[in-house]
């Protein structure tokens, strides 16, 4: 056996051992770290997760003991917690994305059939003791939305434009004047198919970015939601069952690093909706 053959065999054994270790040990650690890191990154709050456990036989990952800390200075230490979360891979768990956005690179789409939160308990309270004050849920929703817009401006054009205007007021004024001038001119309609195809490919590249792993989730469900609302030293509790949060990602999926922010944003949006309907109903009952 020559030296090259010995080297090739050594490399094969090394990579096989490394893949076995990743599949049996580090995968759970990686999944756990991603949940924590993405939750903390998008919310700017401390997140904890006790355990992540992927089963190769069933394609199900069980997440145990997730919690997100509340904003400093408020009465409750936790904003929301979920004791058990399960993620079920689809029958065909992945495929390669044929897209002009990734030139000479392979993008993998991972399919999650269902993400299910067994029991979610959240706490809502106002940041300042005034009727017009934002709640912690609203403040976190704004934080997460802003972070998503900064990282994925093509997907959040309105928020991105507002952020840009605040950062560069002199430039935004100039652009507004240029837009006003352009709007007075008759628009040119492009008919060249090659140019249209090129523009479409560039737009798709802007939307998809450079992520090599993207994720799509067919269904996100909260089985049991309990929202505790604290107002004027009084407590209201609302319980809602079987909440459908819909799907995440189209046929192109979402950037794997974006997924945590999108799920967190949608959960907060639902909590805010439940909170507002509960407060309004309670006020109506008082006037009766």
Which residue from 7, 282, 287, 285 is spatially nearest to 124, judged by alpha carbons?
282
Q: What is residue 88's predicted lDDT score, i.e. its pLDDT?
A: 95
- Two tokens at 245? 């949060």
The pairing of strands 213-231 and 107-125 is: parallel
Q: Is 59 left (phi over 0), alpha (psi -120 to 50) or beta?
A: left
- Under the phi-then-psi rule, with left for phi > 0, alpha for psi from -120 to 50, and beta for the rest, what region is 126? beta
Domain limits of the chain? 3-175+201-287
Residue owning tokens 């999108």: 262
Instruction: Return the higher-pLDDT residue of 5 and 93.
Output: 93
Q: How far is residue 62's CA from residue 31's CA, in Å, rounded to a whole number?
A: 10
Q: Is the pTM of this model over 0.85?
A: no
Q: Which residue has the higher pLDDT, 18 or 32?
A: 32
Residue 165's pLDDT is 74
119 vs 53: CA distance, rounded Å: 18
CA–CA gap between residue 39 and residue 30 (Å, rounded): 14
Is there a contact between 195 and 238 (Cβ–Cβ < 8 Å)? no
Helix (H) or strand (E) holding 37: helix 27-43
- Write down the pLDDT at residue 245: 95
Q: Give residue 69's pLDDT.
A: 97
Q: What value does the mean pLDDT take over residues 203-229?
A: 79
Give Cα 229 to chain centroid, integer Å.
Answer: 25
Between 29 and 210, name the one with better pLDDT.
29
CA atoms within 13 A on the CB side of 188: 4
Q: Strands 254-255 and 213-231: what pairing?
A: antiparallel
Burial grade of 149 (CB within 10 A; 0-12, 13-18, 19 or more): buried
The per-residue pLDDT for range 70-109, each reduced to its tens digit, is 999 999 999 999 999 999 999 988 888 765 544 445 678 8
More confident residue, 273 or 199: 273
- The token duo for 278 is 């509960």
The helix (run of H) or strand (run of E) holding residue 67 is strand 60-69
Helix, strand, or coil (residue 179): helix
- Residues 275 and 226: their CA atoms lie apart, in Å, by 11
């Amino acid at each position: 056996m020559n030296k090259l053959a010995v080297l090739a065999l050594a490399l094969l054994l090394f990579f096989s051992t490394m893949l076995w270790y990743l599949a049996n040990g580090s995968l759970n650690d990686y999944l756990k770290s991603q949940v924590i890191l993405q939750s903390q990154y998008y919310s700017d709050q401390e997140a904890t997760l006790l355990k992540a456990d992927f089963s190769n036989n069933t394609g199900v990952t069980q997440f145990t003991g997730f919690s997100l800390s509340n904003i400093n200075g408020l009465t409750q230490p936790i904003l929301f917690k979920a004791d058990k979360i399960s993620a079920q891979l689809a029958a065909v768990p992945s495929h390669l994305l044929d897209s002009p956005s990734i030139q000479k690179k392979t993008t993998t789409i991972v399919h999650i059939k269902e993400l299910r939160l067994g029991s979610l308990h959240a706490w809502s309270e106002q940041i300042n003791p005034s009727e017009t004050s934002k709640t912690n849920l609203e403040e976190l929703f704004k934080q997460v939305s802003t972070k998503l817009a900064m990282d994925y401006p093509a997907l959040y054009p309105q928020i991105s434009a507002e952020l840009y205007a605040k950062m560069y007021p002199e430039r935004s004024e100039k652009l507004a004047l240029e837009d006003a001038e352009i709007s007075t001119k008759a628009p040119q309609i492009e008919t060249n198919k090659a140019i249209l195809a090129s523009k479409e490919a560039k737009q798709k590249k802007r939307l998809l970015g450079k992520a090599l792993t993207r994720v799509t989730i067919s269904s996100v469900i909260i089985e049991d939601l309990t929202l505790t609302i604290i107002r004027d030293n009084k407590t209201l509790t609302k319980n809602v069952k079987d909440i459908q949060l819909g799907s995440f990602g189209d046929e192109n999926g979402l950037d794997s690093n974006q997924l945590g922010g999108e799920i967190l944003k949608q959960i907060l949006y639902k909590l805010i909706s439940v909170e507002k309907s509960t407060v309004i109903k309670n006020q109506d009952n008082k006037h009766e």
